[in-house]
Chains A and B, each alone.
Chain A
Amino acid sequence: MATEILMPALSPTMEEGTLAKWLVKEGDTVSSGDILAEIETDKATMEFEAVDEGIVGKILVAEGTEGVKVNTAIAVMVEEGESADDIKEAKPADAQAAPDEPAAAAPAAPVAVVTPAEMDIPEGTEMKPTTVREALRDAMAEEMRANDNVFLMGEEVAEYQGAYKISQGLLDEFGARRVIDTPITEHGFAGIGVGAAFGGLNPIVEFMTFNFAMQAIDHIINSAAKTLYMSGGQMGAPIVFRGPNGAAARVGAQHSHDYASWYSQVPGLKVVMPYSAADAKGLLKTAIRDPNPVIFLENEILYGQSFDVPVMDDYTVPFGKAKIWREGSDVTIVSFGIGMKYALEAADELAKEGISAEVIDLRTLRPLDMPTVIESVKKTNRCVTVEEGFPVCSIGSYLSAQIMTEAFDYLDAPVLNCTGKDVPMPYAANLEKLALTTTKEVMDAVKAVTYR
């Protein structure tokens, strides 16, 4: 019976890919394990193997086609004596995606980006669409070109080109002295990184995910964050710890933790959590130059999203300065990192209903730009915070307390926090969606504080 070959999902967050190359042609006989095609995801080029034996009846998607959605039929396999046209009778019964459930949690196309007046970019600067992934790589490459003491170490950063392809090309340009693959030994290499920073270097330590950094957190906090103080100012650790943080898609409880509030609690650390590619680039460059330990929290889902990045020789974004993405008068929505996606989507929807939301991206959590938040709340008199982390002792709860302390008389409603739910991250798709905050929750919260 003729069967369809579907575009495979080759990573937890892949929604589409490029059919880079067909390695078979129509009429070829293939057996299980033969390589049918090369498929390029946003992370890597992967070989796609045949599962069953058969004859390639028809190729439906030509090589070189970009943006082929997962589960699209890309070829038809037939048995001896069959024609590819038989497929019309065959049903794609085993396509896993439930048809009535659009993958709403992470839309395929990035949200239309509203480009507000840019405070860090001179007027008239050329802007170039860039993914967060490329922006991070460019930031590291620029800083490594400028300073020989900057080097990158971590698991799979060199020869593999980065588990999430962030360090793609860096080994080629900078060599094995400065782009260093480590064994799987987070505690050990975090300590070596901090020691190298004590010794006068500027390490960038990549964690494959911040979940694994829990094995290394003693060095991050006890060795890196506290030494400047304990030494009476004699020596500190100019080091950047970076990597994806928080939930990706369907990776379960041990790979989905958001550490924003954990690290933000620690004096001696700086904590950065960018949303856009421009901020990812500008903030990472600032982080690498900073003489203090910096926690740089990235997000796997954002890696592949494109934003305009200014074409400038040396684009940096200062720490401790929030960015107002859109101005508004009815409510202040404060967020950071991927939470901004929900905040901006909600603001768009709310605008249609006549609610004007001001959206603030904190960008850095330590230092935290409280004055910008307070000033906005004094204007709108209402505030909703948005983050993916757990609700207890969240960034939102700290913001709420600060707003209460500094702008109590200006509030017309309690501050509401949209957060991840107080549960370990479930694997099941429906439960995972429920565990994270959503655009709808943000809209509901805004309606609650604006009494609509």
Chain B
Amino acid sequence: MAAKKSAKKPNVSKDELLQYYRDMLLIRRFEEKAGQLYGMGLIGGFCHLYIGQEAVVVGLEAAAKEGDKRITSYRDHGHMLACGMDPKGVMAELTGREGGYSKGKGGSMHMFSKEKHFYGGHGIVAAQVPLGAGLAFSDKYKGNDNVTFTYFGDGAANQGQVYEAYNMAELWDLPVVFVIENNQYAMGTSTKRSTKSPSYWERGAAYGIEGEEVDGMDVLKVKEAGEKAVAHCRAGKGPYILEIKTYRYRGHSMSDPAKYRTREEVQKMRDERDAIEQVRDMLLTGKHASEDELKAIDKEIKSVVNEAAEFSKESPEPALDELYTDIYMEAEA
């Protein structure tokens, strides 16, 4: 229903819509492939897929400019692809290969790109929240107008350090957008079982931080909210909170038996609220693209993902002497 409503008069160009479609589809296909490679034993350890939540990062990246920073948790593949990191480098990190963003030493949860201003990839729930405030601190200190997108989940939103960061971010007017990706489950614990406070974004009020709730299955609404948040930060008004209601279709990690929710609940979200389907619908009903054109895009994305998968298998494992590199940075004489 929401799809039809926003399809009426989307304040968005055809090119933009196509771009969002492409970007969201890349994340979905990439994650499906990662799931496959995990099943084949090529990816090890923990692997947290982003399927279902694609509109969050794609919408917010549409509101970002060059120089803006982003930092997130361990469910980070989508964020990296959305900010323009190379799918080959991301997939090769998942397989623990030399061609990965961290030369195979970080893994799924720990990737970084200085070039794309992506600061990880953090495995300790909510640690990225003060870190993100610190990145924003560095920009304010330097006197530029960059903004830091600090992503965390509804689970992390119950950690104490989030509120320590809120307090200082508002106290010092740090240009940080706190993005709560509320996918309704902290691992296996639903929000209803973890808190009685009605909404997460409203907790910011205790610190004087403005915010709002956003429909995270609608990429245009996410973008719109992102623009508002970013404008607030760039104007020197301090932090802003976006609680983005989203849904993860897959388990918390690859080893999630998913006993905490019904198949029907997941299926209903997929059928009625899927972000990619909504944009697809807009493109078709608005006559911005034909079925054939969209098929061509699908095919193109598939080949990008396949290439990434091939690269991630062919790239060699890191050289053994890599064990002892990158522990310390050489001090300048």
Contact = CB atoms under 8 A, between A and B. Distances in A.
B103 A191 contact: no
Nearest to B133: A192
Which of the four size classes fits the interface of chain B?
35 or more
Nearest to A221: B124
Contacts of B103: 232-233
A223 B110 CA distance: 11
Contacts of B101: 231-232, 234
B114 A191 contact: no
A289 interface: yes
Nearest to A186: B164
A267 B328 CA distance: 8
Nearest to B102: A232
Nearest to B171: A183
Interface string B100-122: 11111110001111100001111
The residue among B71, B114, B130, B331 with the most chain A CB atoms within 10 A of its own CB is B130
A189 interface: yes
Interface string A240-272: 000000000000000000000000000110100
B133 A191 contact: yes
Interface stretch (B135-143, B187-195, B271-279): B135-143
Contacts of A268: 327-328
Interface stretch (A125-133, A193-201, A276-284, A356-364): A193-201
B15 interface: no
Contacts of B69: 199
Nearest to A198: B119
A193 B134 contact: yes
B131 A198 contact: yes
Contacts of A227: 112, 120
Contacts of B104: 232
A27 B264 CA distance: 90
Nearest to A267: B327
A319 B332 CA distance: 13
B6 interface: no
Interface in B75-114: 100-106, 110-114
B293 interface: no
B279 to A, nearest CB: 33
B168 interface: yes
B306 interface: no
A192 B123 contact: no
Given A228-B328, A267-B327, A291-B329, A235 B133 contact: no
A133 to B, nearest CB: 26
B122 A191 contact: no
B330 interface: yes
A452 interface: no
B105 A229 contact: yes
B129 A191 contact: yes
A289 B332 contact: yes
A341 interface: no
B132 interface: yes
A15 B71 CA distance: 50
Contacts of B102: 230-232, 234
Given A187-B160, A228-B327, A229-B327, A196 B134 contact: yes
Interface residues of A, number: 44
A371 to B, nearest CB: 18
B253 interface: no
B137 A192 contact: yes
B161 interface: yes
A187 B168 contact: no
Contacts of A189: 130, 164, 168
A191 B161 contact: yes
A235 B135 contact: no
B326 A291 contact: no
A45 interface: no
A231 B329 CA distance: 12
Contacts of A290: 331
A236 B325 CA distance: 13
Contacts of B329: 228, 233, 236, 238, 291-292
Which of A189, A192, A198, A219 lies at the interface centre, i.e. has the most chain B CB atoms within 10 A of its CB? A192
Interface string B290-331: 000000000000000000000000000000000001111111
Contacts of A196: 134-135, 137-138, 141
B254 interface: no
B167 A185 contact: yes
A177 B165 contact: no
Nearest to B131: A195
B100 A232 contact: yes
A228 B164 CA distance: 25
A188 B112 contact: no
Which 3 residue pairs of A and B lie closest in terms of their CB atoms, listed nearest first? A195-B134, A191-B130, A188-B164
Given A191-B127, A200-B138, A229-B105, 11 more contacts: A193-B134, A195-B136, A196-B134, A199-B69, A230-B121, A231-B102, A231-B106, A231-B110, A233-B103, A286-B331, A319-B331
17 contacts: A183-B171, A185-B168, A189-B164, A191-B127, A191-B133, A191-B161, A192-B165, A195-B132, A198-B131, A198-B134, A222-B122, A222-B124, A228-B327, A231-B102, A234-B112, A286-B331, A292-B329
Interface of B: 69, 71, 100-106, 110-114, 119-124, 127, 129-139, 141-142, 160-161, 164-165, 167-168, 171, 325-332
